[in-house]
Amino acid sequence: MNSFQNNEESSWAVVAGVTFVLMLIFLFISVGYMSNAIQDKNKITAVANSYEKIQVELTNDLREEFSENLKEWNASFDPSNLSIRFEYPEILFKVGSAELNDKFKNILTSFFPRFLQIINDPKYKNDIEEIRIEGHTSSEWEGESSPRQAYFKNMELSQNRTRNVLEYLLSNIQDEDLFNWTKKYVTANGLSSSKPILNPDGQEDKIHSRRVEFRIKTNAEKQIIKIIEQTHQ
């Protein structure tokens, strides 16, 4: 009887010991996961803080550089997406044409070298993902075009316009290194009427929808995605 009891007690002791070891293993695994999760969260927070700092500094530098010019250029600055918007199509292009007006060429000649000097600064250039030149139109098209036909015709027009803007800007860059950097990061994007400007009543503002925007994209989002992907490997 004592022998059976001792064996039983020994078996329970083994089971208890194994259970305890397993609990320790699970605890260490959990702690490991928690530690990795905290580290990943800290990395993402650091990237977000860095992005916010860059956003604030870029906003301040762009405002300081262009605040006195925006009104005379019929332009505006939106710090929420780091974009400078040029409005009033009669200043930008000939009606229904992708040809740049001389006045817009003069504006670009003043604007773009100073803009490049800011974003190509060492404190920003490694955080730049893309500089988007975006061409936007209203939903209108002359003649009896359907809304769908008007959209596609405006798509072609907006693409041709932004390509001409980029070609004009690149043709005026003499420094080869700066030309190559600009060619790599500055893109032309014709968006037709897909992103109209709306009036307070929700209706399309056809005049202000016709515009060209220079929008800065940082690589903060790509860095955060990279961190998330690494956690799932």
Binned at pLDDT 50, 70 and 90, residue 15 comes out as very low
The answer to whether 212 and 191 are in contact (CB under 8 A) is: no
pLDDT at 161: 96
Binned at pLDDT 50, 70 and 90, residue 96 comes out as confident
Distant-in-sequence, close-in-space partners of 16: CB < 8 Å, separation ≥ 6? none
Distant-in-sequence, close-in-space partners of 228: CB < 8 Å, separation ≥ 6? 40, 44
- What ranges do the domains of the chain cover? 2-45, 53-225
**Cβ–Cβ contacts within 10 Å for residue 45, how many?**
11
Quote the pTM value: 0.77
Token duo for residue 186: 């500055």
Q: Find the range with the poorest average confidence among 97-101, 205-209, 217-221.
A: 217-221
pLDDT at 177: 94
For 128-168, the pLDDT digits (tens) are 999 999 999 999 888 767 999 999 999 999 999 999 999 99
Q: Tell which wins on pLDDT, 210 or 227.
A: 210
CATH assignment, 53-225: 3.30.1330.60
